[in-house]
Structure 1
Amino acid sequence: MRKTAILVILILVSCTVFATEKEEKKEKKDKNFSIIPLPAIAYNPTGGWLLGVAPGASWFMGDPVNTSISSGLGTLIYTTKKQFLFTAKTNVFLSGDSWNLLGDWRYFISSQPTYGLGTGPQSGKPVGTGVEYEDGLFTQPIPDAQMMEFNYLRFHETVLKRIGDTRYFVGVGYHLDIHSKIQDNLLDLEAEQPVVTSHYGYQTLNGFSTDKYTLSGLSFNALLDSRDNAINPYSGRYAFANIRINPEFLGSNKSSSVLWLEYRDYLHVDKNRPRHLIGFWTYGWFVTSGQVPYMDLPAVGWDQFGRSGRAYTQGRFRGEDLLYGEVEYRFPLQKTKETFGGVVFVNTTTASNRDADIQLFKYLDYAYGAGLRIMINKKSRANLSLDYAFGKYGAHGFYFGINEVF
């Protein structure tokens, strides 16, 4: 595994040099738009080898003097475990920052392990919150991952209008999530002692289908974004509140509402080197009314850009309520140049299982790690990021991407 990580780093760095040279040539022709056609080459236990492209782009929709930089990230990946992953995520500022448009489109033919609801050891999570599958017999904890296969379609678009000359925005959004062709691989109701998974138990208990479900709704949003650069901030703050209403008449299987609250801040360590800083990121995600299907519940790694929870697989922690926090120390590795930098970070997650009396803060599952940053576009501050993280329960992982994690 160590040799694999070194090989991947060498490939990525060589590809970055090529992309940077191509970028410099392109900037001479078009100073306001840049694209980095980064190849995606990685390995993890869930997907096996991942091969494809993960392009990143940055541009200005108006005069850079009064318009923030816009960014887009995409992936088109196929894995050796026969997974197909397509994503397109955008953060666009129109001229003069008059409007801010947030997009998150995904289509997955995928598989992913789940671990029940709540943080903490598996032994403390009664699968399906203790569903009675026969008179006097209840489901038991499952000590390992519960692998699921599924197709997933996401279409999220949010439109925010700037309030006067402030950095406050308000707006509305539409959000659609469809899980289909769900196969719960560990489920076995015909066994002598039936194996009831967390997904099956939760869905059955709350009256949802176990093979397909839809969450469709409108959101009302408020945003404060005073960051000097959205893809690699040196200063400023970011605060975002989103209340999503999912009524049945818009296609949801059941009516519900979900609240998202997020905050980021950046503190300088050296005022003469703005890249030398400590970044803070936290968010809370809560089901505030009704019932939400299992795979649509708040889960770590399912933020817009999928950056939370380094060390853990996406969806490792899930619950009706979830709080996440991360601190990252960022520092330059050169005395005067900004090409190379480093980071060290620590994060923690807590999630609830309301029916099993697992409340927020009963368990805090942490992770930590370090990484390398290579600035591949000085104008936009686009970074190539390479991180390795370690967590509890033997979790660890290698991550690479474009731009800072937050």
Structure 2
Amino acid sequence: MIQKCNHFVLLLLLVITVSIKSVAQKQEDTVVVKKSKLEKFNDFNAKAEALFKVIPVPIYGYTTEAGSIFGLAKSNVFNLSKKDTISKPSKIDGLVSSSTEGRVNVVASSQFFIKENKYQFLTYLFYQKQPQYIFGIGNDVTIDGIEQINFDRIKFYSNNLMQIKKNLYVGIPIEFANYWNIEIPSDSFLYEQNISGIEGGYDVGTGLSGLYDTRLNPYNPQQGVYCLSSLVFHPHFLGSTYQFTNFILDMRKYYNPWLKHIIALQAYTSNAFGDTPFYDLSMMGGSDRMRGYYQGGYRDKALIDSQIEYRAPIWNIFGVVGFFGTGRVFSGYRDLSFEKWRFSYGGGLRVMVDSKHKTNLRVDFGFGEGGSLKGTYISFGEAF
């Protein structure tokens, strides 16, 4: 009887062992299949990246003022010299787009780092034909007073920076712009208040700038500090139609609390002094700050805004962000008030299109004024 029991136990153990091996084999097969799918995705992504470096990407966006936006965008991040292993990678961007509300944009921009980061050159050149919406001048205006203004403009800007100490630069900004074909409603407040700029004209300016930048990757910062200050004069003797001065201060800080999660902070202010045309006033909103607001719907001589953004990876090349911002315009720093600050919020998707330089394609959805204002923004690199 005992021998029969022993035979039974041995048989039972044999069955259990075979079952365990069978389950383990199935799990191994499943892992192999999963790895195979991941490898296939990585192979596809590598081919897509190689293709992305050659051909432009079709884009679609939406903003309240422009309607649906269709276009082609191109972005390339690269090292200018193989011998220079210290310089940060350089970048060239291009965009051609038009919208259902008649906007046309042609933009080319670049950022070059040369001679072991000793020199930086930031430039952009664009042509715009666009109807623009404006609520008025000041922070107390409302969307009920919206006016549509049409104009053409071409603008060139270059900030040429030289390193004087590690991470610290001084530079000379240069600016040229022309505004023409300006169409303003005959009953516009711009005529009633005799606001500068209604005849269009030229901006020709230069000045001084300073930059402190400890970021390792300027296109997808993971840590460090960025602080840019610029003062640009537009005197008559250089050819400016209106004599005025623009000041900006842009401060950013990045934290990496755990893994690849990033907390990014930005505080920004600008102020225009002198006879500033309405199209050069400080403007709230756009694709980078206070996302969701018309760029220029709220405008005045001075502006302060700030934002916080949380960036989190999801899987492989994909990530998500959430952001919140606040800001307002005012007539000058002496008139700064802590009342009627406006808020923006939203989120977005990130897709890494250049794994070597960690550069993302970003798609953001921004909202303001309780959601009545909104915008969809597609671009390369982070908002800040």
- Shorter-chain TM-score: what band? 0.7 to 0.9
| Alpha-carbon shift at residue 72 of structure 1 (Å) | 2.3
Distance (Å, rounded) in 2 between the aligned partners of 1:93 and 1:352: 36
Distance (Å, rounded) in 1 between the aligned partners of 2:117 and 2:366: 36
Change (3 A) 1:50 1:264: same
Structure 2 counterpart of 1:31 = none
Structure 2 counterpart of 1:376 = 353
Structure 1 counterpart SS, 2:49: helix
Distance (Å, rounded) in 2 between the aligned partners of 1:292 and 1:308: 22
| Alpha-carbon shift at residue 113 of structure 1 (Å) | 0.3
Structure 1 counterpart of 2:191 = 200
Which residue, out of 329, 342, 353, partners 1:365? 342
Q: Per-residue displacement from partner, 1:27-48 (whole Å, max 9, x unpaired)?
A: xxxxxxx456221223334223
| Alpha-carbon shift at residue 91 of structure 1 (Å) | 1.6
User: Which contiguous aligned blocks of 4+ residues in structure 1 show a shift greater than 4 angstroms?
Assistant: 17-20
Larger helix proportion, structure 1 or 2?
Answer: 2
Residue type matched to 2:238 in 1? L
Q: Per-residue displacement from partner, 1:163-200 (whole Å, max 9, x unpaired)?
A: 14x1111110211122211111xx33xxxxxx332x33
Q: Is the 8 A contact 1:350 1:361 kept in 2?
A: no
Structure 2 counterpart of 1:350 = 328
Which residue, out of 310, 322, 340, partners 2:303? 322
Greater CA drift, 256-265 or 34-43: 34-43
Which residue, out of 263, 266, 272, partners 1:278? 263
Change (3 A) 1:143 1:240: same
Structure 2 counterpart SS, 1:200: helix
What pairs with 1:51-200 in structure 2 (closer than 5 Å)?
51-62=70-81, 63=83, 65-122=85-142, 143-164=144-165, 166-184=166-184, 187-188=185-186, 195-197=187-189, 199-200=190-191
| Alpha-carbon shift at residue 103 of structure 1 (Å) | 0.5
Q: Per-residue displacement from partner, 1:184-217 (whole Å, max 9, x unpaired)?
A: 1xx33xxxxxx332x3345x25xx3523122211
Query: What's the % identity of the aligned pairs?
Result: 25
Which residue, out of 387, 390, 403, partners 2:364? 387
Structure 1 counterpart SS, 2:279: helix
| Alpha-carbon shift at residue 64 of structure 1 (Å) | 6.0
Structure 2 counterpart of 1:23 = 49
Q: Per-residue displacement from partner, 1:251-270 (whole Å, max 9, x unpaired)?
A: 11232212111111101120
1:266 lines up with 2:260 in the alignment:
no
- Pair member with larger Rg: 2
Distance (Å, rounded) in 1 between the aligned partners of 2:277 and 2:209: 23
Structure 2 counterpart of 1:126 = none
Q: CA RMSD in A?
A: 2.3
Distance (Å, rounded) in 2 between the aligned partners of 1:222 and 1:286: 17
Q: Is the 8 A contact 1:117 1:351 kept in 2?
A: no
Residue type matched to 2:374 in 1? H
1:297 lines up with 2:281 in the alignment:
yes
Listed as ranges, the gaps of 5+ residues in structure 2 are: 1-42
Distance (Å, rounded) in 1 between the aligned partners of 2:342 and 2:301: 16
Larger strand proportion, structure 1 or 2?
Answer: 2
TM-score normalised to structure 1 length: 0.78
Q: Per-residue displacement from partner, 1:312-337 (whole Å, max 9, x unpaired)?
A: 12212211110110100111113xx4
| Alpha-carbon shift at residue 232 of structure 1 (Å) | 0.4
Q: Is the 8 A contact 1:85 1:107 kept in 2?
A: yes
Listed as ranges, the gaps of 5+ residues in structure 1 are: 1-16, 27-33, 123-141, 189-194
Greater CA drift, 77-86 or 66-75: 77-86
TM-score normalised to structure 2 length: 0.82
